[in-house]
Every structure is written in C-alpha cells, then in structure tokens.
C-alpha cells in the first residue's frame, strides 16, 4: 500500500520585513510560505531572528542568573548592546525603561541621546520599546524615531488604544511599527487592519500577539501564533505579518527563572534553570511560527541559535 506524501499546498505567504539600513547590517524576517521548518513543502527564505534585550538604565528586579551573566555592562546601554552583538544577537532591542515615572521619568531628549549612542555602538538593526504608558510612549518613541532616521528600526508598541502617533512617525521616518495585542487572534488581525487603514505599508509592520512564559499560559501564545500563521498561509492578508515574541522578557518574570531559595531541590541549579525555561519558551514560540524572538540570557540565545541552525538545515 502506498501513501501519497501529505504535503500541504498553502496559497498564502508571510510578508517580509527588512530592518536596518544606512550602510549597516540588514536583517529580513518573515517570507515563509509554509509552517516552521517544513522546507519539504515550501520556502523559508529567512531563519527566525534573535533580538537581545538591553535597557537604557541599570536593570532592577532582574534575576541573579541574568545580572551575573551580563556583568557590569548593564550600567551602560552602548556597552551592553556591543556585548549583545558579541553574544550573537541578530538585532538589539532597547527598552526605554527610564522613561517610566518611577524609574527616572526621562523624556524625549534623553531617549534621542540613548538611541543615538546605541546605534553608534553597533551596526545591527535596532528595536526600541517605550515604557508602555501612552503619553510617554508617544514622546520618547517620536524622539527615538528622529534619532534613528535612515537606520530603519522597529518601534513599539502600537496598541489598539494608542497607535496613531507611533504609526505616523514610522511612516514619515521609514521605520517599522510593532503592533501589540493581548493573546487573541482577532485583536491581532484588527490592529493590522487599523495600521493598514492609516497608511502603514504591509512591509513595515511586525505583530506581537503577546507571549506568556512556559508554565504561565505559553499554550495560549502557542495557539494564537499558530492560528495567525495558518491564517496567513491560507491567504488572510491581515495576518500575513511577521511575528515577534518576547520569550526572554516574559521568562525573566517567572518564578522558575528567579527563585534561588525556598524552592524544591528537584528544580536544579538556578543558573541552568533560568537558561532552560527561557530557551523552551522561545523555541515553543518559534515552532508555533514566531519570526523574531526577544531574549535575555546569553546561554539561552546560544541554545536557540543552535536549534534554529539545525532546523534550517
């Protein structure tokens, strides 16, 4: 008895988004017309990319496994970004944490300076995230956008309640908008439509359907990402954007990555644990369809890069 090899003929393709410019290294994500790594039935022009997270201020509340892995570079965003390049990042993600009211309440001027400093320190593409407070996001991300003209960075987050200013500055300065929605297929699709309506080109949007860490709802993220990817492959244009997943930042909040005392001995060494929980969060999202994962621990980055290398053949 013979079997017809069950190959899927998808009609859709994920759009490609290019980051970087101005003579510096470029990274393109997206572009696949099949599910992750199924190269026997489609093309996957770009491997999943890894962005490493850098803060504009000394991190507070990070697990010991992370602070010790990075050492003293965390006091200087430019040095930190350079170190991320050494550790194999494809992209650096700068979080403008100091713009938070409780953490310095810095404004546009400071944001412009730090973005400029980090961009001068590296020749990789950059992602800049605001503090997540609408008024502050609009202020600091506009400044970041201006400072990064020509480098085609990604700016986030555009959310349903606050996307116009960030989207507009992405259009005018030639950057990429990150569209963030809480773990939900329809909300992700809607926000892509809203961004398209106000004129953000389809090759300038990355969607962030939100990530929950391993053990903290990862399965919801998995299925949301997988559904978005399946819809894209079935030809749904408003789902055909590359997907970013914040596997690292979510993992560093979880107990299993943080706790050093008062947990069962069977949990193992805290440093190894931090690496593995972050790694499995990231690879699970990649197997669901994420095109870009944000990560924190250099050890986890090494493992995820290794897995991607094997799977891209």
Partner 1 sequence: MPIKGTDVAKKLPQRKGCKDCGFPTCFAFAMKLASGGATVDKCPYLSEEIRAELEDALAPPIKLVTVGSGEDALKIGNEEVIYRHEKTFAHAPGIAVLISDKEDDEGVEDKIAKMKELQFERVGLTLRADLFALKFQSGEKAKYEALVKKVCDAGDAGIILISEDLGALFAARDICAGRNPLLYPITKDNLEQAIPLIKQSPTPVGVKAESVEALIPLTSRLKEEGIEELVLDPGSGNFLEVLRDQTLIRRAALKQNFRPLGYPTIVFPCFLAGDGLEEILTASMCVIKFAGIIVLSDLKKDSLLPLLVQRLNIYTDPRMPLAIEQGVYEVGQPKDEAPVLVTSNWSLTYFLVSSATEESKVHAFVCVKDTEGLGVVTGWGAGKFSGDSVGAFIKKSGIEERVKHRKLVIPGKVARIRGELEEALPGWEIVVGPREAGELPGFLPALARSLTGG
Contact residues for partner 1, defined by CB under 8 A: 1-6, 8, 37-40, 61, 100-102, 132, 161, 182-183, 212, 214-220, 222-223, 226-227, 230, 252-256, 258-259, 262, 264-269, 272-273, 276-277, 279-280, 283-284, 287-288, 303, 306-307, 310-311, 313
Residue number with CB closer to partner 1 (186 or 265): 265
Residue number with CB closer to partner 1 (23 or 310): 310
Residue number with CB closer to partner 1 (189 or 273): 273
Residue 61 CB, shortest distance to partner 1, in Å, is 5
Residue 19 CB, shortest distance to partner 1, in Å, is 26
Residue 87 CB, shortest distance to partner 1, in Å, is 16
How far does CA 15 lie from the centroid of its chain? 16
CB 144 within 8 A of CB 99: no
Q: Residue 18 half-sphere exposure, CB side, CA atoms within 13 Å?
A: 9
Residue 110 CB, shortest distance to partner 1, in Å, is 19
Residue number with CB closer to partner 1 (108 or 270): 270
Residue 81 CB, shortest distance to partner 1, in Å, is 23
Residue number with CB closer to partner 1 (87 or 216): 216
């Amino acid at each position: 008895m013979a079997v017809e090899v069950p190959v899927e003929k998808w009609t859709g393709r994920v759009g490609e988004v290019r980051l970087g410019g101005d003579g510096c290294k470029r990274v393109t994500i997206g572009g696949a017309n099949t599910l992750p790594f199924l190269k026997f039935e489609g093309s996957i022009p770009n491997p999943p990319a890894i962005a490493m997270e850098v803060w504009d201020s000394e991190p507070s509340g990070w697990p010991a496994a992370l602070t010790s892995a990075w050492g003293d570079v965390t006091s200087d965003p430019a040095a930190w970004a350079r170190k991320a390049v050494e550790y194999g990042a494809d992209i650096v993600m700068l979080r403008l944490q100091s713009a938070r009211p409780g953490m310095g309440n810095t404004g546009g001027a400071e944001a412009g300076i730090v973005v400029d400093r980090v961009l001068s320190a590296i020749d990789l593409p950059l992602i800049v995230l605001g503090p997540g407070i609408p008024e502050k996001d609009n202020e600091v991300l506009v400044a970041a956008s201006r400072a990064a003209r020509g480098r085609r960075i990604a700016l986030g987050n555009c959310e349903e309640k606050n996307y116009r200013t960030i989207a507009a500055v992405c259009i005018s300065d030639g950057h990429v908008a990150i569209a963030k929605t809480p773990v939900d297929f329809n909300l992700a699709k809607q926000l892509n439509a809203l961004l398209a309506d106000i004129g953000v080109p389809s090759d300038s949007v990355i969607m962030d359907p939100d990530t929950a860490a391993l053990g903290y709802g990862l399965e919801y993220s998995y299925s949301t990402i997988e559904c978005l990817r399946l819809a894209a492959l079935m030809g749904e244009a408003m789902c055909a954007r590359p997907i970013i997943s914040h596997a690292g930042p979510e993992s560093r909040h979880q107990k299993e990555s943080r706790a050093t005392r008062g947990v069962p001995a069977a949990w193992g060494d805290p440093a190894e644990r931090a690496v593995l929980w972050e790694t499995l969060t990231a690879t699970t999202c990649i197997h669901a369809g994420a095109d870009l994962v944000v990560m924190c621990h250099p050890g986890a980055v090494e493992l995820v890069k290794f897995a991607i290398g094997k799977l891209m053949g």
